[in-house]
Amino acid sequence: MKHIFQKGSDPEAPTLVLFHGTGGTEQDLLPVAQIVSPASSVLSIRGNVLENGMPRFFKRLSEGVFDEEDLLIRTNELHEFLGEAAAAYGLDRTQFVAIGYSNGANIAGSLLFHHQGAWKGAILHHPMVPRRGIEIPKLNGTPIFIGAGTNDPICTPQETEELEQLLRDAGGDITVSWESFGHRLTHSEVNTAAAWFQSHWGSR
Catalytic residues: 102, 152, 183
Task: Pick between residue 91 and residue 129 the one whose CB is nearest to ligand MLT.
Answer: 129
- When the beta carbons of 95 and 103 are compared against ligand MLT, the nearer one is 103
Query: What are the DSSP E strand ranges found in 42-155?
Result: 42-45, 49-51, 54-56, 60-62, 65-66, 96-101, 121-125, 143-149
Q: Print the binding letters for residues 164-193 with ligand MLT: x by CB under 6 A, - otherwise.
A: ------------------------------
75 forms part of the interface with ligand MLT (CB under 6 A): no
Nearer to ligand MLT by Cβ, of 57 and 196: the residue is 57
List the x/- string, 86-105, binding to ligand MLT by CB under 6 A: ----------------xx--
Q: Which of 73, 154, 157, 162 binds ligand MLT (CB under 6 A)?
A: 154
First to last CA, the chain: 28
Q: What are φ and ψ of residue 17, in 5° steps? A: -115, 120
Q: In the set 21, 24, 147, 172, which binds ligand MLT (CB under 6 A)?
A: 21
The reply on whether position 64 binds ligand MLT by CB under 6 A is yes
CA dihedral 45, 114, 202, 189 (to 10 degrees): 70
Q: Which long-range contacts (CB under 8 A, 24 or more apart) does 76-84 make?
A: 76/114, 77/1, 78/1, 78/45, 78/107, 78/111, 79/111, 79/114, 79/115, 79/118, 81/1, 81/45, 82/17, 82/43
Applying CB under 6 A, which of residues 40, 106, 142, 160 lies at the interface with ligand MLT? 106
* Contacts to ligand MLT by CB under 6 A: 21-22, 60, 63-64, 102-103, 106, 128, 154
